Amino acid sequence: MKQYISRVNNFLAISFVMLCPAGAFAQATAPRTFTNILEPNKLYDGERVVVTPPEEIQNYIKLVKEGAKNDPKWYEEYSKTAKPGVPLPFHKNLNLTTAQYQEYLDLWGKREFKVLEKVGVLLELRRGKWSFRLSGTGAMISLLRYDEKEDVFRSTNGVMKRIDDIDAGAETILGEWKGVEWRFEEETPLGKTKENLALGKAADGKFGFLVYRLQDVTANNTVLEDISRVIRFPLK
């Protein structure tokens, strides 16, 4: 009987090894692109945030809008030269004096993060692909799958390819931070779709960021979708 049981156990053990794919017992290593910022399989207590400057800044924005009405074509062209998330450089056509412009910059420097909701953030391997699992309204990011071999994210829209790394200065909307970014962009006779995902961390190392943006605009400039999510999570 003992010999019979031993033969059965050996058979089961061999069968198990044959059924399991090679490397199934080895722990998968997360891409350094991610581990430079956060650890895999660790739940981070994140927050969905927006950045808000003091309410007084609206007085200066109102003046700029009034100036834009005087020369809309110039304002449109000038706005194209600005960096995203950074105040427009000073120009007399902005309808602000140099003193008013400096006051505007001072208020911009006092912007703060406002928490909209708590969001859990988890980097994990699912079906051979790395992804970010998020709770709450950040869950749409969970649909993205990272292909390490090609360094791309795959979404329902298409392939999000790696673009230039982020090196944002202190004057940008999120403050000074560095990161990596992927983008899907497509233009057809029906319209234009743009999808971005960025991962990075603040210069002081206290917080990490996951930033997602989806824009879908028709050929006649009707906005079908404009979704933005900024997720901040503590690293220290």
Q: How far apart are CA 5 and CA 203, in angstroms?
A: 62
Largest distance between two CA atoms of the chain: 98
Question: Residues 179-221: pLDDT tens digits?
Answer: 999 999 999 999 999 999 999 999 999 999 999 999 999 999 9
Please say if the pLDDT value at position 2 is more than 60. Answer: no
Domain boundary assignment for the chain? 42-52+113-234, 57-110
pLDDT at 18: 35
In degrees, rounded to 5, the angle at the alpha carbon of residue 66 between the alpha carbons of residues 62 and 71 is 145
DSSP string covering 106-133, please?
HHHTT-EEEEEEEEEEEEEEETTEEEEE
Please say if the pLDDT value at position 83 is more than 70. Answer: yes
What pLDDT band is residue 27 in, cutting at 50, 70 and 90? low
Structure tokens at 202: 């603040």
Q: Which of 5-9, 10-14, 49-53, 79-83 shows the highest mean pLDDT?
A: 49-53
Residue 125: which of 218, 27, 50 has the closest Cα?
A: 27
pLDDT at 15: 35
Please say if the pLDDT value at position 169 is more than 90. Answer: yes
Please say if the pLDDT value at position 17 is more than 70. Answer: no
What are the distances in angstroms from CA 24 to CA 17, 128, 129, 132, 165? Answer: 10, 11, 14, 22, 33
Structure tokens at 90: 């000073």
CB 201 within 8 A of CB 33: no
Q: What is the mean pLDDT of residues 13-28?
A: 39
